Structure 1
Amino acid sequence: MRKIVDGITAFLTCSLMVVMVLVACWQVFTRFVLGSPSTVSEEFLRYALIWLTMIGSAYAYGKKKHLAVIFVARKIPEKHQIFVNLIVETFVLLFIFVILIFGGTKAYQNAVGQVSSALGIPMEYLYLSLIVSGVLFLFYSVLNLAEYFKKHKKLSQIN
């Protein structure tokens, strides 16, 4: 299941990045060659960057490539590192539920009826990125917890 979600997420982020580069090139072309900048591309790039950041951060978290302060955790014996990781995952889950899912749902509900100025798309699509990334973060966090419990089980069988 992880490989499927990783593949879909990687494809979406890479595709969005390619589209953003093309739209940015179009923006530069219209601004400097045609002398009339495209307002639609500017707004699209702003919203696409938000989506790219939210989905990309969940993907990086799932791949364990996110920023982390691990020099303290490395000094702790391995059997105790599992407990530190569990505490960190608990805080991550709390953040996911409170900020991304609950807060994202509230922001989504507040944006209903609003429309973006240049693109004319409903603003709730922008705030949907919080909920989608929250679900992705939740998925990866549950997988991380399962891995930690497996690792803890193996360590306790060895000792």
Structure 2
Amino acid sequence: MTAALAVVALALLIGWSVGPTLSPTDRILRAVAASTVAALWLAAAIGHVAALRFTSPADIDAAAGGSPDSAQVAMAQAVLRNTLEQVVLAIPAYLALAWVVEGSGAIIPMLAGLFSVGRTLFWAHYARGAEARAFGFALGFYSSVAALVIVLVALVGRLI
């Protein structure tokens, strides 16, 4: 978890130092693109569960939608739940960052990239246990939380 936080902090430092100042419209467009990336991760997780659950007409008709390998379905559903939780944080974080922070032009795509790397690692290592998937989880989570903290600091700064 500490390593993921360090990666997010480093990415923010780099993004802050090289980021161009963009118009509000361009920042919002970047946030919409980043939000689309996050939503596509959710769509992929939903599609994965559906592919596992609905392999035959009997599966489609079944109320539980079970498949021959219910452990695999349970794992896919857990990944889906976690992805939904992560997306619920990421999308408003990207949009708020774009709306409030003028220098967020390079940061938003970097955060979306970290989110995607985190989701990939989480998904790929899920079956190996909590320790194996912790870095992926933390990378996505901390990138979204960092955006929200930056927004909060910027808003408090405007009030003071």
- Considering Cα pairs closer than 8 Å and 6+ residues apart, tell me whether 1 or 2 has the greater RCO: 2
TM-score by length of 2: 0.47
TM-score calculated relative to the size of structure 1: 0.47
Structure ID, larger Rg: 1
